[in-house]
Amino acid sequence: MFYAVIMAGGSGTRLWPLSRKSTPKQALKLIGDRTMFQHAVDRLAPLFTPDRIFVVTNAAMAEVLRPQTADIPAENFILEPVGRDSAPAAGLAAVRLLKRDPNAIMVILTADHYITDTAQFRAALAAAGQVADTGAIVTLGIKPTYPATGFGYIQLGESQVIVDGFRVYRSGGFKEKPDLGTAVRFLEEGRYAWNSGMFVWRAARLMAEFEAQMPDSYAALTRIGDALGTPDADRVLAEAWSATRKVSIDYGIMEHAADVSVIPVDIGWSDIGSWGALLDVLPGGEQGNVVDGQFLAVDTQGCYVHGGDRLVATIGLKDIIIVDTPDALLVCPRARSEEVKELVNRLVAQGMSEYL
């Protein structure tokens, strides 16, 4: 059977001051009246029934997310004792799924990205599931629309097959975030896709990669899997978890895996990695302004206003982002929202952790 595993343990401050350590992006209602996590769950239906949707996160975040998805069984929330990056998280899901279904095929998904063409997304997942069923590791690559320097890339190797209309390529290798010149070349060559962080594989295949590439992690994960369902489960998890190698799927698994396939997709994907990126997927209203909250404007265009309980009033602004939270306010041009990380760095440097 085919299972979805949503990685929802991350924290981040790229949408500061709204996203904080305690309320990361997946917990925020950024688009419409659903949280990013709810969007991530919503778009899986009807391909995955709720009992085949799993969520890897931490205990605190599970408290936040569980009430948002009444249909997903509570036991499908897989709790990491502490975050150890995405490879151990995927391994934890794999041993859990293998306990239930030795033939489990699993897709690793993110909780804080956005996809506009959800039908195409599900069709691509179904196709990727068929390829993974043969034993391959499959990754969904996003067809690039601009020379992004903020994403990793996957090179497209030889074309292998067409499944349900999706052309499947052999991976030509993963590339780290490029500089602009390299990104332009990637776009021009047309043989690269963005690494979306969405991977599909048999759970058993993932474990085989752990065994081959990270034997210590494999041993730890196997111990954890063997203890599942026994009274020792929690104790073993707590003990063995710290023996896993803290590494991402990209570096820990994909870089040296054989038989990796790529399916380039065009699904309206965004990582919502900045306020500007969020704005790109939100429909503008009057004067191209995107407004959440009470807003009074004189000659104001292309602005994003995320208000709280207060009235936000503007005069003569263009393409400015205003994010109003109870304890912090951000004002910056739309084109410079990537620099929020610089603000966050300064908060860290100045010990103003109450704002993080």
Binding residue for a second copy (CB under 8 A) from 342, 348, 353, 356? 342
Q: How far is the CB of 268 from a second copy (least distance, A)?
A: 28
Q: Which stretch binds a second copy (CB under 8 A): 95-103, 153-161, 194-202, 318-326?
A: 318-326
Binding mask 203-222 for a second copy (x = CB under 8 A): --------------------
Q: Which stretch binds a second copy (CB under 8 A): 48-56, 95-103, 211-219, 333-341?
A: 333-341
Q: How far is the CB of 292 from a second copy (least distance, A)?
A: 14
The two tokens of residue 298 are: 């004189």
Q: How far is the CB of 347 from a second copy (least distance, A)?
A: 7
Peptide bond into 24 cis (omega under 30): no
Q: How far is the CB of 257 from a second copy (least distance, A)?
A: 40
Distance from C-alpha of 153 to C-alpha of 173, rounded to nearest angstrom: 8
Distance from C-alpha of 45 to C-alpha of 54, rounded to nearest angstrom: 13
Q: Work out whether strand 304-306 and strand 320-324 pair parallel, antiparallel, or are unpaired.
A: parallel
Q: Which stretch binds a second copy (CB under 8 A): 22-30, 32-40, 284-292, 324-332?
A: 324-332
Is there binding between residue 311 and a second copy (CB under 8 A)? Answer: yes
Compute how many other C-beta atoms are within 10 angstroms of the C-beta atom of residue 335: 10
The two tokens of residue 257 are: 């895996």
Residues from 267 through 296 that contact a second copy (CB under 8 A)? 296
Q: Which residues of 280-308 are buried (b: 16+ CB within 10 A; e: fewer)?
A: eebeeeeeebbbbeebebeebebbbbbbe
Q: How far is the CB of 346 from a second copy (least distance, A)?
A: 6
Q: Which residues of 229-239 are buried (b: 16+ CB within 10 A; e: fewer)?
A: eeeeeeebbee
Q: How many residues bind a second copy (CB under 8 A)?
A: 37
Measured from the CB atom, the residue of 57 and 337 that comes closer to a second copy is 337
> 3-class SS at 92?
helix
Binding residue for a second copy (CB under 8 A) from 33, 326, 351, 353? 326
Binding residue for a second copy (CB under 8 A) from 46, 327, 351, 353? 327
Residues from 70 through 129 that contact a second copy (CB under 8 A)? none
Residues from 5 through 44 that contact a second copy (CB under 8 A)? 17
Q: How far is the CB of 308 from a second copy (least distance, A)?
A: 9
Q: Please spell the DSSP secondary structure of 35-80, one letter per residue.
A: -HHHHHHHTTTTTS-GGGEEEEE-HHHHHHHGGG-TTS-GGGEEEP
Q: Which stretch binds a second copy (CB under 8 A): 59-67, 105-113, 261-269, 340-348?
A: 340-348
Q: What angle do CA 174, 25, 64 make, to 5 degrees?
A: 120
Does the CA dihedral 335-343-15-245 come out positive or negative?
A: positive
Q: How far is the CB of 115 from a second copy (least distance, A)?
A: 28
Q: Which stretch binds a second copy (CB under 8 A): 19-27, 109-117, 141-149, 302-310?
A: 302-310
Tokens 């196709």, located at residue? 127
Q: Which stretch binds a second copy (CB under 8 A): 37-45, 110-118, 266-274, 305-313?
A: 305-313
Distance from C-alpha of 34 to C-alpha of 26, rounded to nearest angstrom: 10
| CA distances for 321 relative to 16, 24, 59, 134, 170, angstroms | 12, 19, 33, 47, 41
Contact residues for 61 (Cβ-Cβ < 8 A; gap 6+): 8, 9, 24, 26, 27
Measured from the CB atom, the residue of 143 and 318 that comes closer to a second copy is 318
Residues making contact with a second copy (CB under 8 A):
17, 296, 298-299, 307, 309-317, 320, 322, 324-333, 336-337, 339-340, 342-343, 346-347, 350, 352, 355
